[in-house]
Amino acid sequence: MRADPVHLRLQREQLVLLPDVAVSAADAMQLCASLNEHFAGEGLTFFAPHPQRWYVKLERSPDMVTVPMSLAAGRNIHGFLPAGPESGRWHQLFNEIQMLLFAHPLNEAREARGELPVNSVWFWGNAPVSIQPKKNYDTVSSDEVLVKMLATATDCPFSDWRAAWHSAGEELLVWTALRAALQRGDLHAWREALQSFENNYAQPLWHALRSGKIDSLRLDVAGGDRLRRFALTRGNSWMFWRKSSHLADYSA
């Protein structure tokens, strides 16, 4: 199960989850070692194959439902904690880990350097795989490691977008930079990410569609609890009477 390092910030009597805390490999190793020492007798083993992707090894999967960090990020954690018959123990562990990390010398040193302390972990991803994933695309590209893992599970080639987007077949791009900036509340980074998407992805795809190099585009935009879907073909791309705008204009 994932146990990713996070910072919980107190805002107006709410604990808000801040993801993507900058953690070095050495810091991750030291904090995981402290967690393992503290929980040695409880059948929990923490490890960090990547500084920002931590895991906890369990004797069995607990009977509870967890929420992906991407959904809880930037929000009050109250409604996103584990739920289910065995969630009570994990609420206790969650609080105990916060107390342990709050007093950790490494976090004191991080704060002295002006860095955010790692004052909690976020448990998620404990559900067993109940269905066999299907391969629906010829290639997959993304800036999100979970997408790469899912592509691997379906034996679908994962490749660099710039090298693969103009190849033959059905291609999928999952791009999350906008979401990450929004969750941090960083408007400047959000506008930069939007401009990057327009320059590096939207414009090349638009020109490829207009020139006939690709047949169609489908854009799925997730926001909150909604999914907006847009479909484009070469035919409707020539609707010249519709006024066009740059993507960044929508954030003005």
Q: Residue 95 pLDDT more than 50?
A: yes
Do 194 and 96 share a structural domain? Answer: no
- Whole-model pTM: value is 0.71
Q: Which of 74, 91, 124 is the last residue of a domain?
A: 124
Q: Write out pLDDT tens, residues 188-215.
A: 888 888 888 888 888 888 888 888 888 8
130 lies in some domain: no
Residue % of the chain over a pLDDT of 90? 39
Q: Which of 124, 159, 180 is the last residue of a domain?
A: 124
Quote the pLDDT of residue 216: 84
Mark 150-169 as b/e (b = at least 16 C-beta within 10 Å). Answer: bbeeeebebeebeebbeeee
Nearest residue to 33 via CA among 108, 94, 104, 89: 104
For 111, other C-beta atoms within 10 Å of its C-beta total: 12
132 lies in some domain: no
93 lies in some domain: yes
Do 52 and 149 share a structural domain? Answer: no
Quote the pLDDT of residue 82: 95
How far, rounded to the nearest angstrom, does the alpha carbon of residue 218 sit from its chain's CA centroid? 22
The answer to whether the beta carbons of residues 95 and 86 sit under 8 Å apart is no
129 lies in some domain: no
Q: Which residue has the tokens 């391969």?
A: 135
Range of the domain at 29: 2-124
For 82, other C-beta atoms within 10 Å of its C-beta total: 20
Do 148 and 71 share a structural domain? Answer: no
Q: Write out pLDDT tens, residues 119-150.
A: 999 999 887 665 566 778 888 888 777 788 88
How far, rounded to the nearest angstrom, does the alpha carbon of residue 94 sit from its chain's CA centroid? 20
Number of domains in the chain: 2
